[in-house]
Chain A
Amino acid sequence: MTAAVHIFVWAFTAYLAAGFVFAVLFVIFGAQRIDSQAPGSTLGFRAIVIPGATALWPLLLARWTRGVGDPPGERNAHRNSSLREV
Chain B
Amino acid sequence: MSLHYVAVGWNRQKKIYDSILAGSLTLYLALFALLGSLVHPNATIETLLIRGFGTAAFLLLHVILCIGPLARLDRRFLPLLYNRRHLGVTMFLLALTHGVFSIVQFHAQGDENPLASIFLANRRYASLADFPFQPLGFFALLILFLMASTSHDFWLRNLTAPVWKRLHMMVYAAYGLLVAHVTLGALQSERSPVLAVLLGIGMACVLSLHLAAAAKERRVDERQPATGGDGFVEVCAVEKIPLNRAVTVSLGGERVAVFRYDGKVSALSNVCQHQNGPLGEGRIVDGCVTCPWHGYQYLPDCGAAPPPFTEKVPTFRTRVVDGKVYVHPKPFPAGTRCEPARIDGNVQEVAV
**Which A residues contact B (CB, under 8 angstroms)?**
1-2, 5-6, 8-9, 12-13, 31, 34-35, 37-42, 44-45, 47-49, 51-52, 54-56, 60, 63, 71-79, 81-83, 86
Contacts and interface: CB of A to CB of B under 8 A. Distances in A.
B334 A45 contact: no
B6 A9 contact: no
B135 to A, nearest CB: 10
B113 A75 contact: no
Interface of B: 2-8, 113, 115-116, 119-120, 123, 145-146, 148-150, 152, 154-155, 157-162, 252-254, 256, 269, 271, 273, 276, 313-314, 330-334, 336
Contacts of B271: 76, 78
A55 B254 contact: no
Contacts of A49: 152, 154-155
Which 5 A-B pairs rank lowest in CB-CB distance, beginning with the nearest? A44-B7, A77-B253, A51-B149, A52-B149, A82-B331
15 contacts: A1-B120, A9-B113, A31-B154, A37-B5, A40-B4, A49-B154, A51-B149, A52-B149, A52-B152, A56-B150, A75-B162, A79-B331, A79-B333, A81-B252, A86-B330
A41 B157 contact: no
Contacts of B150: 52, 55-56
Contact of A72 (B146, B160, B253): B160
Nearest to A60: B158
A2 B252 CA distance: 53
Contacts of B7: 42, 44-45, 47-48
Contacts of A9: 113, 115-116
A75 B4 CA distance: 24
A78 B152 contact: no
A52 B145 CA distance: 8
B254 A78 contact: yes
Nearest to A44: B7
A41 B5 contact: yes
A82 B149 CA distance: 33
Given A39-B4, A52-B154, 5 more contacts: A2-B120, A49-B155, A75-B160, A76-B276, A77-B253
A81 B145 contact: no
Name, among A74, A81, A82, the residue most crowded by chain B CB atoms within 10 Å (CB to CB).
A74
B5 A81 contact: no
B115 to A, nearest CB: 5
Nearest to A83: B333
A71 B334 contact: no
A81 B154 CA distance: 27
A77 B334 CA distance: 12
A77 B254 contact: yes
Given A13-B115, A52-B155, A81 B253 contact: yes
Contacts of B113: 6, 9
Nearest to A73: B160
